[in-house]
Every structure is written in structure tokens, then in C-alpha cells.
Structure 1
Amino acid sequence: MITAQDAARREMIAAYDVVDGPPEPDLEGIVRIAAVLCGVSTAVVNIIDDRQQHQVAAVGFEPAVCSREDSMCAVIVRSADPVPVFVADAREDERFADNPFVTGEIARVRFYASSPLVSPSGVVVGTLCVFDESTGSLTPDRAQTLDLLARQVIDVLELRRMTRALRATNEQLSHFAGQISHDLRSPLTALTGFLEIAADDAEAAGAMRAASLMARAGAAADRMGDMIADVLAFARAGGAKPHLEDVDLGRLAREVVDDLSGPDDASAITLAADVAVRADPALLRPLLQNLVVNARKFAGAVRERPRIEVRAHALPSGWRITVDDDGPGIPVAERERVFRLFERGADEAAAGSGIGLATCRRLVAAHGGQIGVEESPLGGARFWVLLPRD
């Protein structure tokens, strides 16, 4: 079973995206400097996950992959307090004497020195290692230099990670801007058109015709307003940092339902959420609003009086909130897709901006929780949220 430490390491290594890719010139430059400064023939940057050691940059030999069990540097990665290791003769160190890199099965390492690669968040992802087939030593100055070079390796990896994130963000922003421009253009065109027809036909068509056109123009304007509100909510959720406090979820749910219930609302909403949760009420409210609106929208598209149930109960590790409806449900193949930005339901009559559920995922993630969808006992969809106690 993979440990939490290994899971965090795997996630960080994936973010650095340095394994199985083309050689990173800056890393190759660092290992060359390390070999020269330490007076050895070989140096390597090792990235070590829960199964393997990946030699992503090396000098003095061709980089390869081996199991973590065979890795000498895995000693550092597994340590609760990783520190640099310097060994004059690995044959005389009980940690390495039987290692295949020492015995001759893989190599004949004698002198060995290694500094951990520690991410800014404290995750050890590997080592910067120098070694030789002859015994040797490392002066304090050279040991300190090796440690500084290990930090330089992390700086290179962090730059790679941030560059990838920035590139992905720019692509998303470009898509976001294009989609919003397209989506806002439709109601804007309708709004302009209805107002122009109403102005031209005000005398010829009479007051009734003009009133109808103005009502349709107002509906188009409302759609634009809702879409702009969704965009702002999504943007705010992305930068949300929750301020946790004890929240009466039952009272908050009743307030949300009261706010959403207009004179024409025919929904039958059941609330069974009288629990206290540890959350940010300013973020929890729009989460519930979006889930209830989504349930009412899709169930209301197929039923005159849709049924919605909002329930919550405590778990040993947190709280589970569910919002059920008796609508058409969501096919298994689409249950992940509905949380993506600008993804809309297949039902055109109920389709919205495609932002609401993406906002929900951001709000839940800000709490360190999880959100998903499954089949509801009512026959439609059940959206569930897990909020952690810590």
C-alpha cells in the first residue's frame, strides 16, 4: 500500500515532469559542476518515486532506471529526517555494503556522497549524488557546495513546474475568454434585436407586441447577468482561502432555499441537514446554491414538480452532504465531464453556462474536500460533497 509520503512524492514528481522526458540541459550542467567540484568522475540527479529510481541527468555514465530497492539514495528518501550522506568507502557502511551498486552486481561504488532534493513544500523527490570506484573524502567546503547545488536542482525543477503551470493557465484563459465572448454574444445579439424590433414596431404592432418584445429582451439581459455572475463566482472560487468556523448547515440550507424560491417555483425541497460543519460560510453558501439550482434546473426540465433533497451527516473524518433530484440523471461516462469548465448537460432545455459545477469543485477543493456525482435513490442525480474535519 502506498504511503501518504510516497503519494505526495509521486504528485510532486509528476508536477516537475522531468521523468521520461528529454534531458534538461540545466540539470546536466549542474551534475558536471558537481563532479568537478567534488573531484570525482561521476555525478547524477536521481528522482526516486515509490517504485523506481530515475537517473534524469548524469555525467560519467549513461543514465538509466533501477528499482528503488536497489537504489543507494533510497536510504535518504526513506529517512524521516533526510540529511546529506558522505561515505569514504561504501563497503564499510552497513547501509550500503550489500547494495548491488557496491557489490559489483550493478557497479562497484566506493566513495559516495549524496544531498537530498527537497521541494519548497518539504517533499523529498530524490538526490544529487556523486560517487567513484575509488575510495575518497569530501571536505566540509565541498560538502556544503554539493548541498547548494542540490538546491539549484530544485530551483530548476520548480522553474519547470511553474512554466508548465503558466502555459496551462494561459491556454485556459485563452479558451475562457473565447468561450465567454461567444456565450455573451448570443444573448447580447438577441437583446439588441428585440429592442430594435420593439422600437420599429411600437406604433405599427401596438403596445401588446412591444411589451412581448421587451419581455424577451429582458429575458436575454437576465441571461447575460446570470452568465456574468457565474464567471465572477468561478474567478473568486479560484483564489478562495477558507476562513473556517462552525457553521449551522441546516440553517444555511434553509436560507439558500428561501433565497432561491420565487413565486413560480414548484420544486418540492426536503431539508435534512441539521449538522454543524467546520467550513467557510461565505464559500459554503454558493456551493449549496449551485447544487440546488443545478438539481432544480435539470429535474424541472422533465417534471412539473421536481423533488430535491438536501441531506448531511457527520462522518469520523468529516461530513458528507448530498443533493438529490428526480431528474434524468447523469450517465456514468459523463460524471467527470460535468465538473469541467464550460461543459453543459446534454438536455438543451436545462443547459446553463457550464460554469456552476466547475465553481462547486473549486469551492470544495478550497476546503480540501471532494465532490462527485452518482445515481440518486430518487431516480435522478445525487451530488455528494465530503468536507474534512481538518
Structure 2
Amino acid sequence: SHDLRTPLTGIIGASAAIEENGDRIGAAETKKLAADIHEDAEWLLRMVENLLSVTRVSQVSRLKKSEEPAEEVISEAVARCHKRYPDAQIRVHLPDEMLFVPMDVTLIVQVLINLIENAVRYGGTPVDVSLYHRKGKAEFVVRDFGPGIPPDKRDTLFESAQVQADSRRGGLGIGLTLCRSILAAHDGEIDEINHPDGGAQFVFTLPLEEEI
């Protein structure tokens, strides 16, 4: 609830400032307040999308799995991230072969969006998104080139109460916890491995064939 109240409070405060003092504040301040409203609205949208995904993944028996080309799923996630972060440099690295992965495509796109947007917000750009074929599994890697995850945060990184520092926000919220839940429902796994050359690197895998 705190994650939802924070952007709503920001939207109310900034819009009230424009409404009540619009004639007295300058154009630059008005533009800044409008940008704050936009940023808070984007954050709220992400939270709503995650909450909808929580509802969907809680009904594991209703997951709508189909074999999807992983390359197109990555492209969809990157395109949606570019709408929110048009200046972000997101580099995609794909294998020569096309990988078809059984998945609920809506949920896996949400996993990728969460990881890419976290990388942009906390590590900056560029962000590398890579796909590999590893022993009967599709391996997705999202890497940034920022400071990486502090050692004291790694053990609780995927817990719902875990909060990362952010200049304007309370933290990662339910994003990483949701990612783990979605992947578990797909018989997949996720882990964070700080890259030896710097930056955080999230790796998740999905089986290439449905378990019978």
C-alpha cells in the first residue's frame, strides 16, 4: 500500500501546486511539476501492472502457456521500456537459432520489463539483454553497468519487504518478488550475479519443453 500511496501523494501535491499557484510560478517550475506528475503516473502504472500480474500468477492452473519465440518476447519488452525511457540505450544480443519457449507471454514480458526498468533506474544505461540456449533451457540475462547489488542486500533481494534506495521512490517494491513467483509457476529460476567487470546481472531460465 505504501508503494501505491507514494506516487498518488506526489500526483496530488504537484497538481495542486499548479492549480493553486499556476499564475505565480514560472514556466520552468510548472514544467518540472508536470514532469513529476508524469513520472509518478508512470510509476503507478508499473505498480498496477505488477498487481494484475500477481493476480494472474496466483492462478497457476490458468496460465495460458503457448510456445513463443523468445526473441519476439524480448523485442516486445524492450519496445515497451523504450516508451517509458526513450533515451535509454538497451542492447539486445540474440543467438543464431530461434528459441521457442512454452510460456504465458504476458507474464514473461512483465518479468523482462521489471528487470530492464530496474537496470535503467538503478544502474543507468547501457543495459544489455541477452538470450542463450543452455542445456534444454532458454537463459535470459539482463545486465547493467552500474554499482551492482550490495552484498548485504543480496540474501533478501527477492523478498517482498526488500527495499532498495532510490532518489524518488521507496524501492523495487513487489517487482523482483513477482518475477520469482512468475518464473516458479513456469518451472523456471532466477538469480542475481554481480558481473565480475561491474554491474548487476539478473539471470533467469525457462525450460524449452513442457514437463509432462
Q: In 2, Cα distance between the equivalents of 1:197 and 1:377? A: 46
* Residue correspondence of structure 1 range 175-186 to structure 2 within 5 A: 180=1, 182-186=2-6
* Matched-pair contact (CA < 8 Å) for 1:279–1:367: yes
Task: Label 1:209 to 1:284 Cα distance change in 2 as closer, same or farther (>3 A).
Answer: closer
Aligned residue in 1 for 2:155: 336
Unmatched runs of 5 consecutive residues or more in structure 1: 1-179, 301-305
The structure having more radius of gyration, on CA atoms, is 1
Q: How many residues align?
A: 205
Aligned residue in 1 for 2:112: 288
Query: Does 1:311 pair with 2:130?
Result: yes
Q: 1:208 Cα shift? A: 5.7
Q: In 2, Cα distance between the equivalents of 1:268 and 1:190? A: 29
* Residues 54-73 of structure 1 deviation map (CA, whole Å, 9 limit, x = unaligned): xxxxxxxxxxxxxxxxxxxx
Q: 1:350 Cα shift? A: 7.3
Q: In 1, Cα distance between the equivalents of 2:132 and 2:120? A: 22
TM (norm. structure 2) is 0.80
TM (norm. structure 1) is 0.47
Task: Label 1:279 to 1:377 Cα distance change in 2 as closer, same or farther (>3 A).
Answer: farther
Task: Label 1:331 to 1:247 Cα distance change in 2 as closer, same or farther (>3 A).
Answer: same
Unmatched runs of 5 consecutive residues or more in structure 2: none
Aligned residue in 2 for 1:368: 187
Aligned residue in 1 for 2:74: 253
* Matched-pair contact (CA < 8 Å) for 1:296–1:308: yes
Aligned residue in 2 for 1:324: 143
Q: In 2, Cα distance between the equivalents of 1:259 and 1:222? A: 12
Q: In 2, Cα distance between the equivalents of 1:292 and 1:354? A: 15
Of 369-378 and 258-267, deviating more is: 258-267
Aligned residue in 2 for 1:164: none
Secondary structure of the residue aligned to 2:102 is strand
- Alignment root-mean-square deviation, CA: 2.7
Secondary structure of the residue aligned to 1:293 is helix
* Matched-pair contact (CA < 8 Å) for 1:322–1:382: yes
Aligned residue in 2 for 1:272: 94
Query: Does 1:230 pair with 2:54?
Result: no
* Matched-pair contact (CA < 8 Å) for 2:90–2:129: no
Secondary structure of the residue aligned to 1:387 is strand
* Matched-pair contact (CA < 8 Å) for 1:234–1:356: no
* Residues 113-169 of structure 1 deviation map (CA, whole Å, 9 limit, x = unaligned): xxxxxxxxxxxxxxxxxxxxxxxxxxxxxxxxxxxxxxxxxxxxxxxxxxxxxxxxx
* Residues 244-296 of structure 1 deviation map (CA, whole Å, 9 limit, x = unaligned): 33221112212221222147323241322542223232322112221211222
Higher relative contact order (CA 8 A, sep 6+): 2
* Matched-pair contact (CA < 8 Å) for 1:275–1:312: no
Q: 1:357 Cα shift? A: 0.8
Q: In 1, Cα distance between the equivalents of 2:131 and 2:27? A: 51
Q: In 1, Cα distance between the equivalents of 2:138 and 2:174? A: 25
Secondary structure of the residue aligned to 1:330 is coil
Q: In 1, Cα distance between the equivalents of 2:131 and 2:112? A: 12
Aligned residue in 2 for 1:216: 36
